[in-house]
Amino acid sequence: MNKETLVLYRSKYGSTQRYAQWIAEAVDADIMDVSKADPDLLSGYDTIVFGGSLHAVGITGVKVITDNYAAIKDKRLIVFCVGCSPGRDRDLKKVWEANFTEKMRDRIPFFYARGAFDFKKLHCIDKMMMRLLRMKLKLIKNLDQDGKALLASYDRPVDWTRRKNIEPVIACIRQG
């Protein structure tokens, strides 16, 4: 007998886990870090919601969906990713296309939620990448508001996580 919904997540700094917990609470779903998931476990659910951190155009942990797609393609699949950018459509389209085949994109609803950013808590490689981004942003003459806000966040942490950001995911799950 299938359980209804599983929320899987891979969180590097905590925002994705927070969103996954909020989603699981809202729809009374099971929740699990993706490191504990396997194809047999996934087959026991009707709906699988996956959330991962966004790094450049990669979604951390999404291989649990893409590598097991043949075994779970008949399940209801929903994906969300979490990052510190404002989530413009053109940027999210690149993420979507980089992580999923056309066949997968036709079947899987995709959502974005803005996370948090604390430069001091980043791991070494992430700090190096973000230092490069900061240098690049500083070279832009007419930097937009989003770029200015990101630059300011290097000195003071910001948290954009809000429960309202998961409302579209919740609505999608409830549409059944």
Write out the chain in H/E/C secondary structure: CCEEEEEEEECCCCHHHHHHHHHHHHHCCEEEEHHHCCHHHHCCEEEEEEEEEEECCEECCCHHHHCCHHHHCCCEEEEEEEECCCCCHHHHHHHHHHHCCHHHHHHCCEEEEECEECHHHCCHHHHHHHHHHHHHHHHCCCCCHHHHHHHHHCCCCEECCCHHHHHHHHHHHHCC
> For 6-20, 56-70, 71-85, 142-156, which range has the lowest pLDDT when averaged over its residues?
142-156
Of all residues in the chain, what percent carry a pLDDT higher than 90? 60
**What confidence score (pLDDT) does residue 90 get?**
82
> If you average pLDDT over residues 84-96, what whole number do you get?
84
- Residue 1: is its pLDDT beyond 60? no
**What confidence score (pLDDT) does residue 91 get?**
83
Which tens digits make up the pLDDT trace of 107-148? 999 999 999 988 888 889 888 988 998 899 899 989 888 788
